[in-house]
Amino acid sequence: MVEHGVYSVILKDNLLSITLIGSFNELATKSVCLQIKAKVDSLKGKAFAVLFNGIDYEGSTPAAHKISNEYLSWVNKQNCIAWAAVYHHAIYAEMAKNEQPAMFESKNRREFYDIESAKSWLASL
């Protein structure tokens, strides 16, 4: 099996930026999740925020959603103080609510439709 989906996972200071582009299968999703886990583990318990850029995300297979939901549950148990999710359209946020319930367990989570608004909100915390 070959990875489907383009992604980046960048940790700068205490901001974990995750960008997903295209459609994802379970192999690419597992790769993204392992990178996220490694970045969060490198913080050694320090507080961090997440900037999720899903503007060009097109969806995932059911198996991929299951994998990411498990990792998102783990992230929620770490010292994540805020989660800003950016989507192209509200329908993608609604789809995420159905497929990724762990993403919505975060107490300090907001949805945006442009990156700058999300960054401003995170900076205000």
Q: Which residues pair with 110 in a beta bridge?
A: 84
pTM of the model: 0.92
Residue 42 lies in a domain: yes
Determine the Cα angle at 25 with ends 22 and 28, to 5°: 80
pLDDT (tens digit, 0 to 9) for every residue of the chain, 125 residues total?
Answer: 798 999 999 999 999 999 999 999 999 999 999 999 999 999 999 999 999 999 999 989 999 999 999 999 999 999 999 999 999 887 767 777 778 888 778 789 999 999 999 999 999 99
Number of domains in the chain: 1
Unique residue bearing structure tokens 């359209």: 89
Residue 31 lies in a domain: yes
Residue 41 lies in a domain: yes
Residue 38 lies in a domain: yes
Residue 95 lies in a domain: yes
Residue 76 belongs to domain with CATH number: 3.30.750.24
Identify the domain containing residue 70 by its residue range: 6-123
CA distance readout (Å), 67 to 13, 45, 52, 91, 107 = 27, 23, 17, 22, 21
Q: What would the two tokens of residue 89 be? A: 């359209």
What are 84-94's pLDDT values in tens digits?
Answer: 999 988 776 77
Residue 1 lies in a domain: no
Residue 70 lies in a domain: yes
Half-sphere exposure of residue 1: CA atoms within 13 angstroms, side-chain side: 11
